[in-house]
Amino acid sequence: MADGMNVGVNLEAFSQAINAIQALRSSVTRVFDSLKDGMKNKETLEGREKIFITEFQDNLQSVNRDLNELERLSNLVGRPSESHPLHNSGLLSLDPVQDKTPLYSQLLQAYKWSNKLQYHAGLASSLLNQQSLKRSANQMGPSAKRRPKVQPSALVLPPQYVDDVITRIGRMFPDMTIELFRPNGTSAVLLVTLGKVLKAIVVMRSLFIDRTIVRGYNEDVYSEDGKLDIWSKSCYQVFQKVTDHATTALLHYQLPQMPDVVVRSFMTWLRSYIKLFQTPCQRCGRYLQEGLPPTWRDFHAFQFRHVPPVMERNTD
Amino acid sequence: MGVTCVCQVPVAEGKSVQQTVDMLHKKLEQLGAVKQGSFWVDCETYHATGNTSGQPSKLLYVMHNSETPLSCMALFEGGPCLTADVNFDVLMLKLKSHFQNAKGHKVESRGTRYRYCDFLVKVGAVTMSSSARGISVEVEYCACVVPGDCWNLIKEFMQSFLGANVPELPSVFATKSEGLYAPSDCMDTMTQYLELFSKVRKQQVIPGASVR
């Protein structure tokens, strides 16, 4: 059933404890059997009584021994881990129809796989960074020591750390306010309000940005039941386009070892949208193309461009 | 509710009002706009009676807009304004002793409503006592709420189908170009319509005593 979920359990002691339970059971059965059989047929009454009492005592002592052994082993077994790493999805394991829908075991495998992938990607990126392809000298040596310690698993960060990073980033930009919510478990959901232009909802997975959706300033971010609405698209075509660009941006800014740098770069890129309606396109000089203002922001130079209906790669 | 700009388009040379309106419709459809029904905006004038000092009595304008069919806007020119329920008309009837309806001064604009990307364009013929007096064009950019940001954008769009008849920045924006455009009660739109209707009224010389 829950393989590997109860990592705090000493499996060796567990199997020994099961054997000890069986031994205890058999010794208790022996006690009651000897009581049931009564006194054996011997010559004298004293002899019979003595033998009966000795046998009874022996049986009780073996019961005592087995019980002590069991208690010792049960202390070694340990408790199953209290905090479910998968929170509410652990409740899926209670579904008894295991053959038809092996949902929980598949879920566990998927999580293990993605964690391993993240770990390997981190290792690979640290190795690749050592073989730097840049031609300029004198950059990696001394700064490598001052670089922050690589988090072995940046996926399981304490929520307080995430809160701190987000507040620090929020303070960097005066015209951008970031509010943090945790409506579903430990993943943070940020509501970024950029001036009076747009509101962006950013769903995070510890410090990694998972997905984002951008809506207009006058659109409602809450759904009918008062919770943050993270699914419905914007009513306006311009913000649907900006959502697509933001998704491209969060795929572009990737740095597995330093996720806070990633979040900062993404916010800096998003902040350039404060002039979404004010700036003409840098390429054609006009404000509108097919009714849309220039919505594309270059990732390095933050230039404003229109996106033509047929996507052509901007080779800069 | 976005930034709205209302302007008057002069009637083309040698054409009637209806023909100019049709020309505008064709240009919009060429751009790719989609017709989305019709709209109307009307304005009734009320004189405040009981004013004994001999000054011209203040005029109260009561306006309706098909965008907000359950509301009624009442404004003094350049003065305070209020948004009320449609029963406000009935209230005005009850206040007959204080406010007299100037029946001949009702102005209204009716026409078709187009949607192009995030723009809403309403081209209407302005009529006063069932005679066509001019053409009103309202352009709303729904995605933005700050007029100062998107004025150039709206101007460029209007140029694409109005040609050279693009207006200047409306006076309601001049005061609050950085602020939020009337969030939900479209009072700024109504103020612009009022200015347009007043201009249209002035264009026609009304024989006899005129309060304006």
Work out the pLDDT band at A95, boundaries 50, 70, 90.
low
Contact status of A288 with chain B (Cβ, < 8 Å): yes
Please give the Cα distance from B15 to B22 (Å, whole number): 11
Q: Which is higher by pLDDT, A59 or A315?
A: A59
Chain B residues in contact with A217 (beta carbon < 8 A): 145
CB burial of B75-89 (b: ≥16 within 10 Å; e: otherwise) equals: beeeeebebeeeebe
Give the pLDDT confidence score for residue B195 in this predicted structure: 87
Per-residue pLDDT for B12 more than 50? yes
Instruction: Using the structure block, give the residue that is written with the tokens 């007096």.
Output: B133
Residue with tokens 């209230």: B91
Asked if the interface predicted TM-score (ipTM) of this complex is over 0.85, the answer is no
Rounded Cα gap, residues B45 and B210, in angstroms: 13
Helix (H) or strand (E) holding A124: helix A103-130
Q: Which residue has the higher pLDDT, A273 or A42?
A: A273
Residue range A166-191: average pLDDT? 87
If pLDDT is split at 50, 70 and 90, which confidence band does A313 have? very low
Asked if the Cβ–Cβ distance from A218 to B153 is below 8 Å, we say no
pLDDT on residue B204: 64
Candidates B165, B181, B185; CA nearest to B173 is B181
Cα–Cα distance, B82 to B91 (Å, whole number): 14
Contacts of B153 in chain A (CB under 8 A): 277, 287-288, 293
The answer on pLDDT for B106 being more than 80 is yes
B172: pLDDT confidence band, cut at 50, 70 and 90?
Answer: confident
- Residues A12-18: what's their mean pLDDT? 85
The arithmetic mean of pLDDT across residues A230-246, rounded, is 91
* Binary contact (A236, B1; C-beta < 8 A): no
Cross-sheet strand order for the sheet of A176-181: A176-181, A189-194, A198-205, A208-216
Mean pLDDT of B126-140: 88
Q: Determine the average pLDDT of the residues in A225-247.
A: 90
Residue B37, token pair as written in the block:
């029904």
In b/e form, how buried is each residue of A194-206, taking b as 16+ CB within 10 angstroms? Answer: bbbbbbbbbbbeb
The predicted pLDDT at position B25 comes to 92
Percent of chain B scored above 70 by pLDDT? Answer: 87
pLDDT of residue A44: 81
Of B14, B3, B1, B16, the closest CA to residue B158 belongs to B3
Is residue B200 a contact partner of residue B128, using CB atoms and an 8 Å limit? yes
The per-residue pLDDT for B50 is 66
pLDDT at position A144 is 47
Q: Which residue has the higher pLDDT, A68 or A304?
A: A68
Q: Could A236 and B143 be called an inter-chain contact, meaning their C-beta atoms sit closer than 8 Å?
A: yes
SS3 A140: coil
Judge whether residue A219 has pLDDT over 70. yes
What pLDDT was estimated at residue A315?
A: 44
The average pLDDT across A72-82 equals 74
Contact: A288, B156; criterion CB under 8 Å: yes
Contact B143 A291 (CB under 8 A): no
Percent of chain A with pLDDT over 70: 79
With a cut of 70, say whether residue B178 has pLDDT above it.
Answer: no
The pLDDT of residue A159 is above 90: no
Q: How confident is the model at residue A76 (pLDDT cuts 50, 70, 90)?
A: confident
Residues from chain B that touch A290, judged by Cβ atoms under 8 A, are 32, 117
The pLDDT value given to residue B185: 54
Residues 228-257 of A with CB under 8 A from B: 235-239
pLDDT score recorded for residue A147: 47
pLDDT at B59: 84
- List strand residue ranges (DSSP E) for chain A, in order: 176-181, 189-194, 198-205, 208-216, 296-297, 304-305
Token output for B1: 């509710």
Interface check B149 vs A, CB under 8 A: yes
Q: List all residues 6 or more positions away from A173 whose beta carbon is below 8 Å from its beta carbon.
A: A267, A268, A271
Statement: residue B112 has pLDDT above 70: yes
A149, pLDDT greater than 70 = no
Q: What pLDDT sits at residue B173?
A: 72
